Amino acid sequence: MNGMAPVDTHCPYCALQCGTVLTPGGPHGVTVQPREFPTNRGGLCRKGWTAPAVLTAPDRLTTPLVRREGVLHPAEWDEALDIVAAGIRRVQRAGGRDAVAVFGGGGLSNEKAYQLGKFARVALGTAQIDYNGRFCMSSAAAAGLRAFGLDRGMPFPLTDLAAAEVVVLAGANTAETMPPMMGHLDAAQLVVIDPRRSVTAARALARGGMHLAPRPGTDLAVALGLLHVVVTEGWVDEDYVAARTTGFDAQRRAVAPWWPERVERVSGVGAAALRAAAALLGAAHRRGAGVFVLTGRGVEQHATGTATVNALINLALALGLPGTPGSGYGCITGQGNGQGGREHGQKADQLPGYRRIDDPAAREHVARVWGVHPDALPGPGRSAYELLDALGEPDGPRALLVFGSNLVVSAPNAGHVVSRLEALDLLVVADVVPSETTELADVVLPVTQWAEEEGTMTNLEGRVLRRRRALAAPPGVRSDLDVLHGLAVRLGQPADRFPAAPRAVYDELRAASAGGAADYAGITWERLDAGEALYWPCPDPGHPGTPRLFTERFAHPDGRARFVPVDVDDVGPAERVDAEYPLRGTTGRVLAHYQSGAQTRRTPELLAADPVCFVEVHSDTAAAVGLDDGKPARVVARRGAVLAVVRTDDTMRTDTVFLPFHFPGDERANLLTNPALDPVSRMPEFKVCAVRLEPVDAVPGHFPASEAVS
């Protein structure tokens, strides 16, 4: 093919970052095989097996596109970059530095995420940067910071789960979203908290585990009720609480009103089941067995997501799990570089190394690495949805640069977001394939993807991995780092301040992270290439890294974890049901697709598995409005409506419908979702909104992306 040897790398999709080997050849330039790696142990899901198809997508972007008289036309790179730079200067001259905004992605490599944050703060001088990880991990990150003083999704290697006796999966459908992870849970009894009988919940029940199915929006009541039972039944690990935590007394009082029968009334989870689940956890820990509490987007993507995660962390702390060998609390990161992406500065309030942008010492350190004065660095900017909501408004940005994100499909309240994107003077999108967002862009920049580039990623365990190049990029395609270099130089930056070589960027990232919470200083390129398993923090090249955090002390100054007070009278979604919108709509992922579907809908095998949006609903709920299995339906919320095929499932709650969010056009579940924000994390409430279901004549499935590849 191109003379390259097989290379060890990782799947481009989720945060499990399954180990793969790519061999040159085949219709897509490389073939993929799984390899032995601790997270996947020789397995892959169907997305990993089929990932090379996106490399040769028939409509792959291979030339810059520039909009003229309303139509995107091919352009030379110099021409496209000149137009972007001139547009940036024009917008900033009229509206100031913050008139240009940047939106990144949790799939970008560490180097791209780092360089994007630096580009925004130094080359653009704007505070207005955030990324789609805000929609993914922010509630768990905020809760972990509050409780432990440090956010690393899993503070232990995934392989620790293999010895667990009981594992709580709260809002995580891992059997569909990361199937190889289920192999680590084979020996455990699972307690799955999920409004629907997901594949994971069904597997738990089949193996003698439990499924607690709260009404969408009431997970917090379940979490408080579990701690109530742990307290009243005497399952609290008092020695651990006394030695390693603070604040328990207040939380003990706060859960007193959440007795199981009250939780049942609020959430629909039976009091007996709640007691049984708490006893399962408490008894297992009491006899020294491994117990883990893991959270996912199901409990996190709420206007009360941070409180819910803190309530579940409080449960884990009361049981004495975090930092105890063989037990723990963890959050299951979703996007491929969701962990690294939130450590290196593309988040509105952060600088590299998981530093706060409002910390004078952090600003001074990073400014020194970047060769600028600390006063030149802007302060914190708007969070992702607030940024999108402000686009084109009188006091908001008038230009937006998007890297690795398909906002038109993945942002909440998507119809409104489209109207804000359309109000911009300049929209620039760098991506590998056309997307619903590139369709709106003024300039589209074609960039490289996983198998065509070198770099590093950080998986859900906080382990840093090497991504390796296995084939040449198509002619006309440049890396995101090249794009940022080209733009920075055009904006007057010294050429060597924005290197385009991944290794050079990574070495600078290590220096910028040194001394920060996420310290990569000792994780050298050479050590990664030698196959060392290196988890941050790793402050120097002689340090072994930190696979397990919190074994001796937590990251707060006194070394103790915090019971963060979660004291509420009322639990429920931000938007309540009524006569017009009587059902609770919830959203999630399916096995065949990933995020906005821009990649997986271009993979024929994956598209065939789930070609159109569906709405999963109990047959009684469907029949009540004249619908049946296989019929086209419209799901209507206050913000928009979605076309979907009815999929009846009598394990569904009769008050709930489920839609996957991977589909475009009229099938976008995010046309429905409520942008009500969590007050701490600024996470929108993706997981519940009030909807109604109605019959419709139109047949879903006629969208451009599927037609392009079918």
Residues of this chain that bind ligand SF4 (CB under 6 A): 11, 13-14, 16-18, 40, 44-45, 47-48, 178-180
Burial class (CB in 10 A: 0-12, 13-18, 19+), 356: middle
In the bound state with ligand SF4, the residue whose beta carbon lies nearer, of 183 and 247, is: 183
Strand 684-685 and strand 561-562: pairing? unpaired
Q: Which is nearer to ligand SF4, 158 or 166 (CB)?
A: 158
Cβ proximity to ligand SF4, 107 vs 516, nearer residue: 107
Q: 183 or 499, CB closer to ligand SF4?
A: 183
* Type of residue numbered 21: V
N-terminal to C-terminal alpha carbon distance within the chain: 26
Residue closer to ligand SF4, measured from CB, 21 or 289: 21
- Residue closer to ligand SF4 by CB (options 20, 324) is 20
Nearer to ligand SF4, 180 or 225 (CB): 180
Q: How far is the CB of 51 from ligand SF4 (least distance, A)?
A: 7
- Report the nearest approach of ligand SF4 to the CB of residue 308 (Å): 25
CB of 46 to ligand SF4, least distance (A): 8
Instruction: Name the residue nearer to ligand SF4 (CB basis): 337 or 346.
Output: 337
Residue with tokens 């696979």: 547
- How open is the CA angle 641-424-422, to the nearest 5 degrees? 25
The least CB distance from residue 178 to ligand SF4, in Å, is 4
Q: How far is the CB of 334 from ligand SF4 (least distance, A)?
A: 10
Name the amino acid, one letter, at 50: T
Report the residue number, 47 or 197, with the smaller CB distance to ligand SF4.
47
- Coil/strand/helix, residue 31: strand
Output the smallest distance, CB 203 to ligand SF4, in A.
16
CA dihedral 525, 528, 534, 540 (to 10 degrees): -30
Q: Is the CB of residue 96 less than 8 Å from the CB of residue 128?
A: no
685 CB-near residues (< 8 Å, 6+ apart): 217, 301, 302, 303, 305, 412, 573, 574, 575, 673, 674, 675, 676, 677, 678
Distance (Å) of CA 26 to CA 2, 6, 53, 62, 528: 12, 13, 10, 20, 28
For the bound state, the minimum distance from the C-beta of residue 482 to ligand SF4, rounded and expressed in Å, comes to 26
**Least distance (Å) between residue 77 CB and ligand SF4:** 31
Between residues 183 and 380, which has the closer beta carbon with respect to ligand SF4?
A: 183
Q: What angle, 0 to 180 degrees and rounded to 10, lies between the N-to-C axes of helices 138-148 and 305-319?
A: 40
Please name the residue that has the structure tokens 């003024």: 442
Q: How far apart are CA 163 and CA 58, in angstroms?
A: 46
Angstrom distance (rounded) from CA 377 to CA 491: 16
Edge-to-edge strand list for the sheet holding 65-68: 71-74, 65-68, 443-446, 426-431, 399-403, 100-104, 129-131
Q: Determine contact, residues 63/365, Cβ cutoff 8 Å.
A: no
Task: Show the DSSP H helices in 588-697 as ranges.
Answer: 604-609, 619-624
Cα separation, 489 vs 460, whole angstroms: 35
Label residues 78-97 b or e (16+ Cβ within 10 Å = b): eebbbbbbebbeebbeebee
- In this structure, what token pair is assigned to residue 392? 């084109």
Helix (H, G, I), strand (E, B) or coil at 631: coil
**Pick 18 or 384: Cβ nearer ligand SF4:** 18
| Identity of the residue, 39 or 383, whose beta carbon is nearer to ligand SF4 in the bound complex | 39
What DSSP designation does 612 have?
S
CB 13 within 8 A of CB 48: yes
Nearest to 195 by CA among 638, 617, 637, 645: 617
Please state the closest distance from residue 404 (CB atom) to ligand SF4, in A: 16
Instruction: CB nearer to ligand SF4: give 37 or 156.
Output: 37
Q: By C-beta, is 45 or 481 nearer to ligand SF4?
A: 45
622: left (phi over 0), alpha (psi -120 to 50) or beta: alpha
Question: Cβ of 579: how many Cβ atoms within 10 Å?
Answer: 6
CB of 81 to ligand SF4, least distance (A): 33
Smallest distance from the beta carbon of 498 to ligand SF4, in angstroms?
30
Q: How far is the CB of 174 from ligand SF4 (least distance, A)?
A: 9
Give the shortest CB-336-to-ligand SF4 separation in angstroms: 7
- Whichever of 11 and 514 has its CB closer to ligand SF4, that residue is 11
Name the nearest CA neighbour of 12 among 105, 132, 117, 129.
105
In sequence order, the β-bridge partners of residue 31 are 23
Query: Closest residue to ligand SF4, Cβ-based?
Result: 48
| Smallest distance from ligand SF4 to CB 173, Å | 12
- Least gap, CB of 20 to ligand SF4 (angstroms): 8
Residue 545 vs residues 149, 242, 322, 519, 583: alpha-carbon distances, Å:
19, 29, 19, 10, 48
